[in-house]
Every structure is written in structure tokens, then in C-alpha cells.
Structure 1
Amino acid sequence: MPNIPFLGALFGSSSSGNMADDQNYPVKKTEGEWQAVLSPEQFRILRQKGTEPPNSGKYNTHSPSSGVYTCTGCSAPLYKANHKFSSHCGWPAFWDAVPGAVGQRDDSSFGMKRTEIVCNNCGGHLGHIFKGEGYANPKDERHCVNSLDKRYMR
């Protein structure tokens, strides 16, 4: 696993159309550099805050008992496989992230209040976090994450 420091009904990109926020992330690339290393669909989701269609991602029903899911953009570890659960929402769901790996920020796009989650290493959009939905997990949280944002590693 790489040693990476950490600093701290919606199928298109968000209504603002902005790229991932230009904050002080360890991994910095220009739009062209991101386009060179990501597929067009990965770029749309990770850098333009898009969403893949429900039930289309390869990790939606993927349920290993061990391993780690890493960021497609920078290979930073994001989620442990044993924190994944079946939420039946159409996207992979996790109840917690690797400590320090995922940042949260307010998202008021599409006329609703949500919390966006991003990779703290490269700023890539991962999805959204929802709290207090009554899931029987230790934190009662659902990190609703696109499959194209991550890779599974044993």
C-alpha cells in the first residue's frame, strides 16, 4: 500500500459545473494532466463532481471481507472492505472511512442540502455522506460512493 500523507437523481456533474476545489491537496494536477490519466467517465465523476447511474458500478455488490478501496485518481487508501455494507441505495456504501482519508464539505447543488465527500489526498469527488438514516452500523452513517472513484486492493 502506498505511503500517502493526508492534509487534513443526479447523473451529470453538479449544477455549478466546477472542477474539484483547488485546495491545498498533496496531489496537484492540471485539468489536462487529470484527463491524461483518467478515463472520460472517471474524469467526469472525480473532477467534475458527477455521479454514475444507480446499480451500474462494479463495486455496488462487491463484498470482500478484507482489503482496502483506494482512490482511482491518486491511489490513496479510502475505505476498508469490512466497513462496506449493503444499503440497497444503488451505490457502494461504507459506514466509515480510513482515518483522515475523506474530507466533508457542504453541497447545496440541485436545491438540496447534502454533504459532499472528497479524497483528502487529491480532492477528487467521491460521493455524499448521509447521517442518521437508521442503518445498524456503529456510526449510523452511509458514505454513498461511486464505483469509478476507487479501486479494490487485497
Structure 2
Amino acid sequence: MSSDASIGTPKVSKSDAEWREQLTPEEYQVLRRAGTERPFTGEYDEVFTEGVYSCRACGAELFRSETKFASHCGWPSFYAPSADDNVILREDSSMGMTRVEVLCATCHSHLGHVFSGEGYGTPTDQRYCMNSVSLHLEPAG
């Protein structure tokens, strides 16, 4: 797991003003301020279209539809990123609990959190619980 010091400089780096100009207020709050969209409201929560999910902020590939599963938790869930180096995992001690935050490895935007050992029966026993507003789905074909 990465610490703030070990995650390095993002490959895509913009000023706060540039991010605000590019993103909607909701996207900015989640991607750049580590917010969370309300459960069961995101556009990809119950979508199972074949394709590639990329970072809404920078366009980097993050997940593929083959690893998406129905967790019924209110947010899109995946059991693995498309490549381990597409995301950064770091400890998150906010909100009075310790969790593992998931960031885009390219622009360091907040995507969501990853949880283990919840009994979903996925190949990795992990649930990457992502905010829909952090993602963009490019359908296959």
C-alpha cells in the first residue's frame, strides 16, 4: 500500500482551477476532493455493458467489464483493476475508520475504496467500490 510520499507525481497534473474548469461540480467533489456519491444514484451502479471503464478526469484505463459484478451495495463494483499499476492504493483514515482508498495512477484522482473478505466469492475476494462519477464507460465495439 502506498503512502502519500511514495505515490510520486501524477503523469497528468493540472492546477485546481484547471480541474474545476474541466469537471462538473459533482465530478470535482468526488475526483479531486475524495467525496462520495450517494449510493444507488450513479449511472454505472447496475450497468453490465461490455467495455472499458476509464478515469473520468484523465481518460486512463482502470477496469474492464469482465471484472464488474453485482454487489448490490449502491456503487459499481469490480474484483480487480485491468492492470495493477492502473490504480494506487493508500490507507484512508478519514470518517473515523481505516479503509483502503483507490486512486487513478495517472492523475491521482479519487475513485473509491477497495474492500476484502466480504464473501462475494470473486476470484480476488476483493470489491473495488467505485463512484460512477469517477468513471467513463467506453462500450465494446
Q: TM-score, normalised by structure 1?
A: 0.84
Aligned to 2:30: 45
Per-residue CA distance 1:97-150 (angstroms, 9 max, x = gap): 021111100001011010000000000000000011111110010000000001
Report the CA distance between 1:23 and its aligned residue. Answer: 4.0
Query: Does 1:80 find its partner at 2:61?
Result: no
- Tell me, which stretches of 5 or more residues in structure 2 are unaligned? none
- Pairing partner for 1:126 from 78, 94, 111: 111
Query: Does 1:97 find its partner at 2:81?
Result: yes
The residue type equivalent to 1:127 in the other structure is G
* Distance (Å, rounded) in 2 between the aligned partners of 1:151 and 1:61: 14
Check whether the contact 1:79–1:96 (CA below 8 A) recurs between aligned residues: yes
The root-mean-square deviation of aligned C-alpha atoms, in Å, is: 1.3
* Distance (Å, rounded) in 2 between the aligned partners of 1:127 and 1:152: 16
- Tell me, which stretches of 5 or more residues in structure 1 are unaligned? 1-7, 9-21
Check whether the contact 1:23–1:123 (CA below 8 A) recurs between aligned residues: no
The residue type equivalent to 1:63 in the other structure is F
Deviant stretches of 4+, over 6 Å = none
Report the CA distance between 1:79 and its aligned residue. Answer: 0.4
Three-state SS of the structure 2 residue aligned to 1:104 is strand
Q: TM-score, normalised by structure 2?
A: 0.91
Per-residue CA distance 1:68-100 (angstroms, 9 max, x = gap): 001000000000011000101100000000211
Aligned to 1:137: 122
Per-residue CA distance 1:12-43 (angstroms, 9 max, x = gap): xxxxxxxxxx9411000000000010001000
